[in-house]
Structure 1
């Protein structure tokens, strides 16, 4: 038991006979013994600013359990999770089949990460992924989406001999240096330069701009999200197929970033599957492939690109990662794909997404603050815009002056506090709330979503309490801007 005299300020000592008697490997007991220290530990040893954010907006409820699309806080209240860990929990939290697969690996005492060997599980997972994109032949496994994008950048340069990488405004491909160089939001880049040279940005959904950028013939690859996560921005129907054609014309590789949109999120296995004939040179995936347990990412690529990287035996390990292809990650991926197939989660995503989009579009007809509703499957954006009513318009303008996109929090916070629905805006300074729930949603969950959003948005049109909250948030935003 911790000596009270040596416990750091703000942290309690482990208390109770159960804490002292428990096995040091009983992590459930350890968490229970230190639960009251959750935020103090993070403030002292991790990210204090994030703790301050959570407390400011009232999200410091301490979640203690997760199952399927639901979370429970320390008081036992149940919440509907529309974030799913930014898309990680596509099959829901703690899916029993994924857990069973991971336990089977531990019980099997496999010879994991020998390094001077190859992994059977990695071969099986690669085979099953390629079945969903049969025009590609090879898979490179990594530990995250950002690491997969880093690999794709290296592969593109090696395969083409060209230096430049092209991406779109409002894009998000990760936060390590290569992906950060292709980030469409300057707030993520500030203070971290210089970034990757020859990373160029063009407007999203703009074919003439793409044509002009590729005409220099020094662009190795064009990276594009089939639906942009920051804003849930959907391109025109002909954009991706035309972009692919332009890349072929100029000898540039066409790379689809499906880290968030892949594995059923949009009602198809890949979002590009909504566009017949689109067959990228590389597809980057991660998030949902983990099953919510073990981080994993992958690059699906054409064989000739792969062979340009690993072109001789002395270059067989010219790119890699220590923990990639580890058995736990591969098992999580295999189990996730099987759950999606067995439970028809891609089809459920399409059906529940169609229902919710219809419901939100009906809301938009009733509530002037909703300016647009868009999405595919269970990736949905509800955008708010300046209202027509003079009184609402004046308050809206005040919030936008204080901090662009602040109004979204006036919806997210009461959704969380009053209706136990966890969601967030679709990016920094973005007026769009994004729904990214597990693909396991049922009709009762959809009822919960529809009634909660309708009630909160209706309140925002008439409740002084909502706008009072907005005034408080605006004051915080102004203070933060001045101190920065």
Structure 2
């Protein structure tokens, strides 16, 4: 196919139809992405054979175009709490398929029900929600709300945090790699160490901040759990400074950590909460930020201010229906409690692996949000490479372990974006104990076969060469 600049001759013959798209081979998919999308990402994914073509999914399992079955322990970065293609969510979409999906000149029916439901399940006085399309959009909306409600400009955020890659969200994301190419970002954004209440208090004294935004557990930072009491102390310090406390529960929320929301482990009531990912039941893109009556009215509580923050697709019928159904599954199947029980078992077994294998430096998390951090090369090997071995290990060991799990055991996982030396294990909350055991056994097999960074590097090199020969 070739592009023709003459608008008058454009026709469907230039397009790939849906029928043809469904019939594309793995090679054809790769070629289209290379030609029309992010070619460098295709190269990166291909190196460790992460460019498989998945054609079916159900619950915790997916199947590729060659008929191989995989366990999904990545879970869409927390988007699949109720599993792949949950039948209750799909039935909900079937029930609304003939309703208008997007009509701007009305007050949408299904969205009204979801707004009510969010107010019922969130902590404290959280009541008024804005429905959007993603986590980054929810963060953007929360930041705008904080400025509008307080009249202040400054935001405080945590080192190693991740809140999204749009400009506002990126401005309060704590990794330079993702920020440098896009500077200048929002001004008056102040970074403090995660888990350090004293540093936060100093920043609150030095800056008249609109809001402090924090993940109750840092996801992309490496599944970092703060010290006990940190969130309580942070929320109290924010109240004393008249600074709004924003809890980013996009990855930690909706049952993932063993409670409906991670901040509830310490009985913290945020001023604003951000949600997304699994709110769409693993099928529809949807996000939300929710706040109190008082804060909402300060920002948008008049006819003149009613349209200051809007979204074309936010609260559309299909997305809202998926959100309603996802919440029903979470509550009816008591998935937060399931995450707590299964997560405790999984964590105990992973810590036993840590005791046996020095390559595991740390295991941490809560519920079914788990991270494994790997030890760095030391001694003569690292000295001989002038520290290069340690640097390479920090950036690539996590992906090598994930590659081994995928290629040898057909388990899907990945490293965390801000700390590539950590792999996350984040399955759907519907995961079974036998599936947890399978992953534990697979991890032990990988650790037995590979004693350190250089061993993994040699294995990965073989995988890359095999992949290149086969393409």
Question: Fold conserved (TM > 0.5)?
Answer: yes
Matched, 1:384 2:378: no
1:46 is displaced (CA, Å) by 0.9
1:258–1:284: 8 Å Cα contact kept in structure 2? yes
Q: Which residue of 2 aligns with 1:125?
A: 114
Matching of residues 54-133 of structure 1 within 5 Å: 54-106=45-97, 109-132=98-121, 133=123
Task: Give the Cα–Cα distance (whole angstroms) in 2 for the partners of residues 442 and 342 of structure 1.
Answer: 17
Report the equivalent of 1:204.
194
Correspondence 1:56-455 to 2 at 5 A = 56-106=47-97, 109-132=98-121, 133-230=123-220, 231-276=222-267, 278-386=268-376, 398-402=388-392, 404-455=394-445
- The answer to which of 38-47 and 27-36 deviates more is 27-36
Please give the secondary structure, in 2, of the residue aligned with 1:439. Answer: coil
CA distance, structure 2, for counterparts of residue 417 and residue 259 of structure 1? 30
Deviations 1:113-162 (A, max 9, x none): 32222122112111111112242121111111111111111110011110
Say if 1:414 and 1:313 are closer, same or farther in 2 by CA, change over 3 A: same
- 1: CA distance, partners of 2:438 / 2:102: 45
1:31-42 mapped onto 2 (5 Å cutoff): 31-33=22-24, 36-42=27-33
Structure 2 CA distance for partners of 1:118 and 1:432, relative to 1, 3 Å = same
Task: From the superposition, tell whether residues 35 and 457 of structure 1 become closer, same or farther in structure 2 (CA, over 3 Å).
Answer: closer
Structure 2 gaps, min length 5:
4-12, 465-471
Counterparts in 2 of 1:392 and 1:91: CA distance versus 1, 3 Å? farther
Deviation at 1:166, TM superposition (A): 0.7
Report SS of the residue matched to 1:131.
Answer: helix
Equivalenced residues, count: 452
Tell me the CA shift for residue 62 of structure 1.
1.4
CA shift digits 1:167-222 (9 cap, x unpaired): 00000001100001111111111221110111111110111110110013510000
* Deviations 1:337-391, CA, capped at 9 Å, x for gaps: 1111222211211111111101100001100111111110110011111368877
CA-CA distance at 1:424 after TM superposition? 1.1
Distance 1:49 1:33, change over 3 A: closer
Find the counterpart in structure 1 of residue 6 from structure 2.
Answer: none
Aligned residue for 1:191, secondary structure, equals helix
- Matched-pair contact (CA < 8 Å) for 1:226–1:235: yes
Q: Find the residue that maps to 2:82 and give its secondary structure.
A: coil
Q: State the shift of 1:28 in Å.
A: 5.3
Q: CA RMSD in A?
A: 2.5
Decide whether aligned partners of structure 1 residues 216 and 398 sit closer, same or farther in structure 2, where only a CA change above 3 A counts.
closer
Classify the secondary structure of the residue corresponding to 1:360: helix
Distance 1:33 1:82 in 2: 26
| Contact 2:83 2:429 (C-alpha < 8 Å) held by counterparts | yes
Deviation of 1:33 after TM superposition, in Å, equals: 4.5
**Secondary structure at 1:190 match in 2:** helix
2:41 aligned with 1:50, yes or no? yes
Preserved CA contact (<8 Å) 1:217 1:250: no
- Poorly superposed stretches of 4+, deviation over 4 Å: 33-36, 387-398, 462-465, 470-474
Structure 1 residue 248: Cα displacement: 0.7
**Are the structure 2 counterparts of residues 124 and 213 from structure 1 closer, same or farther at C-alpha, using a change threshold of 3 Å?**
same
Deviation at 1:432, TM superposition (A): 1.3
Alpha-carbon spacing, 1:145–1:384, altered in 2? closer, same or farther (3 Å): same
Worse-superposed segment, 161-170 or 85-94: 85-94
Check conservation: 2:216, 2:247, Cα contact below 8 A. yes
User: What is the rounded CA distance, in whole Å, between the counterparts of 2:177 and 2:381 in structure 1?
Assistant: 32
CA distance in 1: counterparts of 2:224 and 2:175, whole angstroms = 14
If the length of structure 1 is used for normalisation, what is the TM-score? Answer: 0.88
- Aligned-partner Cα distance in 2 for 1:368–1:343: 38
Name the CA distance, whole Å, in 2 between partners of 1:250 and 1:423.
41
